[in-house]
A and B are shown apart, each in its own frame.
Chain A
């Protein structure tokens, strides 16, 4: 009965909402714990991203011969968003494996562990993104209310990242050879997505922009911030990607969540 399968899968999703406070608070605790006894606290994240932006802006930009006024905002915004995507997905390989003890001792739903990790990386992303206004001060661009469209983009991005993380984490518990593969794949995605290169610099192979969902997710999150309008197609493809990722992840989760405790 397909209906009951779907129903059960949706039931598995409820802890994400009913225990929202659990994973959100635990993520905040993780961040506080990581930067305990430091002066800047989580703002170290911002600072390191700022140093990175400064180096790219002053050194690499000249080597690349790009127009910094245009390139630096593009690069820093894209890199900051990508940081969230890559760190969450790479961390998801070990999230469940490292929580083995707790998984065997409590009946906290597994999805909470994943949401805690994704949210933690999202908080890091928020700190990182504080660099964007600083770059704006140096190389101002036009910002309007349209920038708020990015919020829709981040919603889709968040859904995609948490879904992929959920699926990856379960596969990684079962097959311990997968984590290095995931790391390699994430790196490939970085190079085929418009982060260090701008779409306008492409001389050929524009399929990379059309068929790469990451490229669309970047467009709907980054472009509004940079004051560019987003093609509707990118919203459509991003929404579809989010739906697809969530369905696949939920199917895997629903089917294997009871087995994970025996695998960790």
Chain B
């Protein structure tokens, strides 16, 4: 069964690796106002970007992550993607994970659109055959036509985004991880892209989406988590969590 079980997850970032002591303490003081908790012993400093987070996602769950800057949203997404290793606790994810963040990395500016579909596909772990099978579909969805034979250096920002989006969303998986909803292109393409994302996220068993956009979270998600300073403050139905968050903010 596709599910994500996270138990007592903590992720600690080592900081100030070789900086002098005084600078380190300065830095630590600054960091504590926003972001995760800064822990330090004699020899090493670390930012506890996530501490003791536990939750379970069942098939069909669409989790929205919300919280101020540096609250650990991206860290949680990356930990789920297997980029960050938990410093404590564990993550169990059954199903194919599709990371859909930083989708513009690894591209070769001098390469043509087609070549870049290929490069990005390889980085995503696809084989040549798998890429060839998808290439027409990606080309068609991007709507770039003969531009795909030109170096992406010649593309406008919007055109590159179209291509990146088409590639990133060409993979099917069970667990989709997104750091902010992908918004791309002109009005027409945005509609098409939105429809595709909706379809993808509905098909996939599980979606985890970090965003500051409460309306979007309400529309997209059924459960939500409010993170602050690397801790899970609230977890539950999306409306409840957003309400609790607002109450807290009003209180401040």
Which A residues have a C-beta under 8 Å from some C-beta of B? 19, 21-22, 25-26, 29, 32-33, 36-37, 101-108, 174-176, 258-259, 261-263
Contacts and interface: CB of A to CB of B under 8 A. Distances in A.
B128 A102 contact: no
Nearest to B97: A107
B175 to A, nearest CB: 13
A21 B102 CA distance: 23
Contacts of B123: 22, 26, 102, 106, 108
Given A22-B125, A25-B128, A29-B111, 14 more contacts: A21-B128, A22-B122, A26-B122, A29-B122, A33-B108, A101-B102, A104-B83, A104-B102, A105-B105, A106-B106, A107-B81, A107-B82, A261-B83, A263-B17
A102 B105 contact: yes
A105 B99 contact: yes
Nearest to A106: B123
Given A102-B123, A105-B101, A106-B123, A29 B82 contact: no
A25 B83 contact: no
Interface in B140-178: 151
Contacts of B82: 107
6 closest A-B pairs by beta carbon, nearest first, are: A105-B102, A258-B85, A107-B82, A102-B105, A33-B108, A101-B105
Given A101-B102, A101-B105, A104-B78, A25 B122 contact: yes
Interface in B92-137: 99, 101-102, 105-106, 108, 110-111, 115, 118-119, 122-125, 127-128
Interface string B169-192: 000000000000000000000000
Given A29-B118, A29-B119, A101-B102, A106 B124 contact: yes
Contacts of A259: 14, 85
B99 A107 contact: yes
Interface in B62-109: 78, 81-85, 99, 101-102, 105-106, 108
A21 B81 contact: no
Nearest to B115: A29
Contacts of B18: 175-176
B127 A21 contact: yes
Contacts of B105: 101-102, 105-106
Contacts of B119: 26, 29
B111 A33 contact: yes
A7 to B, nearest CB: 18
B83 A105 contact: yes
A263 B13 CA distance: 9
A108 B108 contact: no
Interface string B26-42: 00000000000000000
15 contacts: A26-B119, A29-B111, A36-B110, A37-B110, A102-B106, A102-B123, A104-B83, A105-B99, A106-B81, A106-B83, A106-B99, A107-B83, A107-B99, A261-B84, A262-B14
Contacts of A174: 17
Contacts of A102: 105-106, 123
B112 to A, nearest CB: 10
Nearest to A18: B125
Contacts of B115: 29, 32
A174 B18 CA distance: 10
A36 B105 CA distance: 20
Contacts of A176: 18
Contacts of A261: 83-85
Contacts of A107: 81-83, 99
Nearest to B109: A33
A118 to B, nearest CB: 16
A105 B102 CA distance: 6
A5 B123 CA distance: 28
B153 to A, nearest CB: 10
Nearest to B85: A258
Contacts of B108: 29, 33
Between A29, A32, A101, A103, the greatest number of chain B beta carbons within 10 A of the residue's beta carbon is seen for A29
A108 B125 contact: yes
A116 to B, nearest CB: 10
Contacts of A21: 122, 127-128
Between B83, B84, B151, the greatest number of chain A beta carbons within 10 A of the residue's beta carbon is seen for B83
A262 B83 contact: no
Contacts of B102: 101, 104-105
Between A19, A22, A29, A106, the greatest number of chain B beta carbons within 10 A of the residue's beta carbon is seen for A106
Contacts of B17: 174, 263
